Amino acid sequence: MNLSPLPTIMLEPLARAALLEDLGRAGDLTSDAVVPKNHHVTTVLAARQAGTVAGLDLAMLAFRLVDHNVEMTVHRADGSEVAQGEAIASVIGPARAILTAERTALNFLCHLSGVATATASVVAAVHGHRAKIVCTRKTTPGLRAVEKYAVRAGGGANHRFGLDDAILIKDNHIAIAGGIHPAIERARSGAGHLVKIEIEVDTLAQLEEVLALTPDAVLLDNMSVDELRQAVTMVAGRAITEASGRITAATAPAIAATGVDLISIGWLTHSAPILDIGLDFVG
């Protein structure tokens, strides 16, 4: 997989903040008291269950910010599928530093690998269909960039990163604007020439009204499979079609079969379970 890493300048503040949260005012009292100062160890980050890896750069930063002498050798890169018990990376260096950074490194790695694993499960479920699996803005505050990176590591794609990426007119916007027509017209008059306009619809009647106004994309929210199939026929390639609303790996295949272009899923980032990864002492 050709997965571009996130720049260190973006990752380092996240790792520093997480370490400061853990170290508090006095540092790692346990490791400083129990572990000899100059003791070196070899450890491995090992998968406790099968899944997809993401977040190794953040894990590495956590170790190296505590002590730059810690070395990490990656065996299974981000985006890789791993089996239960498989070694993902070796971590070698001062024992105190490795133990101090262990939880922070694992918190990032387990969470982001969980996002990647959840994404991969849905991507696999729609294999053979044109639909892309995309995430949403339902992300952990402060972690949006890395969670969206994890979605890409799992084979998914990203929706907008923030409110400044594109215009997405939702039901409350329509209600306050006084209807679909004024909402789209105001959006078009206020948008730059490179800004895409998407609008949410709940019914086929709304979709018919929207299509007359030629948006770039339509968000088909909480529609049944039959409605989605009809909606794709109505759009006929004139706009990007996006299905949304409580979609799971079990329901995604039927939705993808309707011919929609995108399937957006919020739980990939806000509720995906972690991938269980541990740090094991080797020598």
Q: Point out the residues that are catalytic.
A: 103, 138, 170, 200, 221
Angstrom CA distances, 78 to 52, 112, 188, 243, stand at: 8, 10, 39, 28
Amino acid type, 148: K
Backbone angles phi, psi at 240, to 5 degrees: -70, 135
Q: What one-character-per-residue DSSP string does 21-56 give? A: HHHTTT--HHHHHHS-TT-EEEEEEEESS-EE---H
Radius of gyration over every alpha carbon of the chain, rounded to an integer in angstroms: 23
Residue 162 region by backbone torsions, left for phi larger than 0, else alpha for psi between -120 and 50, else beta = beta
Helix axes 144-153, 95-125, angle to 10 degrees: 60
Location of structure tokens 């105190």: 96
CB atoms under 10 Å from CB of 149, counted, come to 26
